[in-house]
Structure 1
Amino acid sequence: MNEALLRELVPAVIGVLVRRGADFASAEDAVQEALIKALETWPDDPPRDPKAWLVAAAWRRFLDATRADAARRRREDVVEDEPAPGPASGVDDTLQLYFLCSHPSLTPSSAVALTLRAVGGLTTRQIAQAYLVPEATMAQRISRAKRTVSDVRFDQPGDVATVLRVLYLVFNEGYSGDVDLAAEAIRLTRQLAAAIDHPEVAGLLALMLLHHARRAARTAPDGSLVPLAEQDRSRWDTAAIAEGVAILQAALARDRLGEFQAQAAIAALHADAAAADETDWVQIVEWYDELVRLTGSPVVRLNRAVVVGEADGPRAGLAALAELDESLPRYAAVAAYLHERDGEPALAARLYAEAAAKAPTLAEVEHLTRQAARLNALLRG
């Protein structure tokens, strides 16, 4: 039994229960219980119609929970008896579920957790393991999220941009526990692309595929980070790159440019270079200019300074960097890189050490510390 294929049914089944009268929180709980039961029983006794089986099992659990709660007795007037067995509803509520789980009233962490459970079909334990928190903590987070959106109409229009930001947060978590969140984010974005024809959805999918294609080359055997320029490009996934580029080209042809399409275009230019010194830095600067225009993001401007340093030399990069706030995350790391390229190893070593002290992940701390040690050894030698 393919667990991923089973989980693809979850949004549609939740939608069926909501249309039959269940509130979202109760429907999601019932579907989770049905999903667990399916994982236990389907390997030995697979159903002819998996979706209808899940709908029936989840609806029974919803009715049982409703009848067991005396305070909710009046709801039985609405839900009454279980419908006769038959084909599940053909209405696809997947898109509405994406909107609900990424509602603006939710914090980013709550939206991510609710999306992974209600849209992704992951269990609370799997999500907790992926985010390295206790299962009870994650259960509370999901419960609070469901309470927050309890009064939101299921058919209320949603914001695609908010959904995309949530999916990108999931993608950037990478891998932890027994769940590959990057792969899960790609699956969910494919599912979203099937539910809505939107160039930015395609742009995000292309960006994910192009980034994910470099995954095998991104770390050394000892787990240390390998910078893009030093990666073994023969280890990049050429099939994922080709798919990402094709999706991106189709999206760009619609002439509705958005930030994820611009980011994907930058990633595609990196993927197109057979070696780091063949990178088209001038064109990448042009795409960063578009990205700055679209977002105005200081982080985008910081990354642009690096690219300007590659295209026009480190002095030009440092001039672009000087326009930015030094408190920006990774500012010191960018300054260190540009100063090293400008022939200032002592200053660069000090800045690498400063950047290491502020780095958000252990892998970055170790990488930046090694850069500082390398330059200090060179200065002593």
Structure 2
Amino acid sequence: MLTSYLYNNLSAQDIQQLTARNTDENNDIRSRVEQIIATVKQQGDNALKDFARQFDGIELQQLYLDRDTLDRLAATVSEQQKQALKIAYSNILKFHQSQLLRENPVETMPGVTCWRETRAIERVGLYIPGGSAVLPSTFLMLGIPARIAGCREIIVCSPPQKDGLVNGFIAYCAQLLDIERIYLAGGAQAVAAMAYGTQSIPKVDKVFGPGNQYVTMAKTIIQTHTAIDMPAGPSEVLVLADEQANPAYVAADLLAQAEHGVDSQAVLVTTSQQLLDRVQPELEKQLQTLPRRDVAAKAIQNSYAVITATLDEAMDFSNAYAPEHLILATDKWQQLTGKITNAGSVFLGHLTPESAGDYASGTNHTLPTSAYARSYSGVSVDSFLKKITFQHITADGIKNIGPTVEILAGLEGLQAHKNAVSIRLSTPES
């Protein structure tokens, strides 16, 4: 099932090729997405209806669902399912509320005080995938920090189902989040609509949400015009395991990621050939029980295993891969956490499946993929905030800092900058 490689036999080029994923070498995806974006910019709502007909197989008379419709859909959710969504909502809320921090003013020198204050991004756009798998959990992961941050307006786009609606779980999450309207648009066209605006969908200041390679490419292209959270494309996991790992657990974790989509990737890095030999039949056995086994099987074909001599070597490979999700399936995880430099979210020990973070532990599951964990963090309350710096200088403060500014402005040849200080020193306000 998993093609295996020996770490000691891998060159730097081999590692670079193994850790690369979701590439678009011929620019086929970029070209198609650029066409979609251009069409949405030119034709607005009509383009979205045409794309819904083309991609979703539905004729839309209206591009949104109002609160009454969402309430009716939410009523179809069972009490048990509502309770599970409420628990997830509560845990995600608790974790993200802890991220609201107030910074104290700092007196950098006598009479010179500086500080930062946060302000919510006013209008944000949330993309909730709804293709082969509908993800109400993503709605909570994006909507909760947006509400905590205090964003004035939250625009939500999700692809329509064949009946021209969204499912009840998405609608119930809209109730929990106090969202009045969901726009029926998916894929790259939804990203374009939020970035540039249409007759129905307002332009937003920042676009959030994961998606396939087309959604990720659309976000990459529009970020010269509208901010994005991060490149968050096809999902991935790297399981770092030693001889202590349970092969059934490891196989389950690999398949949990693989069932997201055929372009997902599940990588096993292990110090034990014996463990790998035991994981392979577990993959075969568990795969047969999955409703989405065809999807998972194709993803596994695009995945692989790496055998290392030590856990340190395993961690070196993991940091090179920079996984969206990293599972440390070892009793020695406490020895490894300090060595992690690149990862979106980390799951420690044998009883911490990545599924817990996907749904209900409280951490956010909107994370950087395709090695972007080298430079991006996952979504948090901070993602929905701006930090504005303030400073105030007193009469004593301008005397203290003024000469330094005059010298620095002079050495850069910016006389007006120097004069703005000098005039205050020579004629202070009474």
Normalised by the length of structure 1, the TM-score is: 0.28
Point out the structure with the larger helix share: 1
Normalised by the length of structure 2, the TM-score is: 0.26
Higher relative contact order (CA 8 A, sep 6+): 2
